[in-house]
A and B are shown apart, each in its own frame.
Chain A
Amino acid sequence: SAVISQKPSRDICQRGTSLTIQCQVDSQVTMMFWYRQQPGQSLTLIATANQGSEATYESGFVIDKFPISRPNLTFSTLTVSNMSPEDSSIYLCSARGADNSYEQYFGPGTRLTVT
């Protein structure tokens, strides 16, 4: 199994600023993902964080707005840039094991409010 922690757990930010969310996994994992969960909505995949290369973004999400880093097999960051109130959401980090197991693990989420 994999235990995922995220920092910060929540933040209130002003529009136009940027926030970087950190995701730490307690073991090496093959795949890491970032999801967004807007109020009352389901999880939407933002991107797959690739170790040592650029992230793979889903339709509707771009690198300039959501730059992602993954320097090693246990850590990733997501930055929400030039924030607007529409970015208010819960951001979830997720990972699959090094054995490419079927189970996907989730972090506790970062609750972001943009004012």
Chain B
Amino acid sequence: AQRVTQPEKLLSVFKGAPVELKCNYSYSGSPELFWYVQYSRQRLQLLLRHISRESIKGFTADLNKGETSFHLKKPFAQEEDSAMYYCALRHGGGFKTIFGAGTRLFVKA
């Protein structure tokens, strides 16, 4: 069965520190992986996806098929990064997206 695991419910770091939000998945085929973010009082929105290999707001995520991971990283956290982050998986070429439990990132001044 497809599953997305985010082991940390809460991650607290100081401003300027590196941050890594962990995501592991289980899927037998070729998944599409995404990170979604929800800032306070805003709706859920796409942050980045593995296919594009882009950096958004300083965040990057690399798909590691050997470790079935898609960790989200940023070298220097900012206070405005405080939000809820969800890792998500969609079957390659499919239409259903499943979400991990989410990690709340809190960046302290």
Contact = CB atoms under 8 A, between A and B. Distances in A.
Contacts of B101: 41-42
Given A41-B101, A43-B86, A48 B43 contact: no
Contacts of B46: 103-104
Nearest to A107: B43
A43 B99 contact: yes
A37 B99 CA distance: 11
Interface in A30-56: 31, 33, 41-43, 45, 48
A45 B98 contact: yes
Nearest to A96: B95
Given A31-B95, A102-B51, A107-B43, A42 B100 contact: yes
Interface residues of A: mostly helix, strand, loop or mixed? strand
A102 B49 contact: yes
B104 to A, nearest CB: 10
B97 A92 contact: no
Q: What class of interface size applies to chain B in its complex with A?
A: 10 to 19
Contacts of A42: 86, 99-102
Interface in A88-115: 92, 96, 102-109
Contacts of A104: 46, 97
A92 B51 CA distance: 26
Contacts of B51: 102
A48 B96 CA distance: 8
Interface of A: 31, 33, 41-43, 45, 48, 92, 96, 102-109
**Among all A-B residue pairs, the 3 with the closest Cβ atoms:** A106-B44, A42-B101, A43-B99
Given A102-B90, A106-B44, A109-B43, 4 more contacts: A31-B95, A42-B102, A43-B99, A45-B97
28 contacts: A31-B95, A33-B96, A33-B97, A41-B101, A42-B86, A42-B99, A42-B100, A42-B101, A42-B102, A43-B86, A43-B99, A45-B96, A45-B98, A48-B95, A48-B96, A96-B95, A102-B32, A102-B49, A102-B51, A102-B90, A103-B46, A104-B46, A104-B97, A105-B45, A106-B44, A106-B45, A107-B43, A108-B43
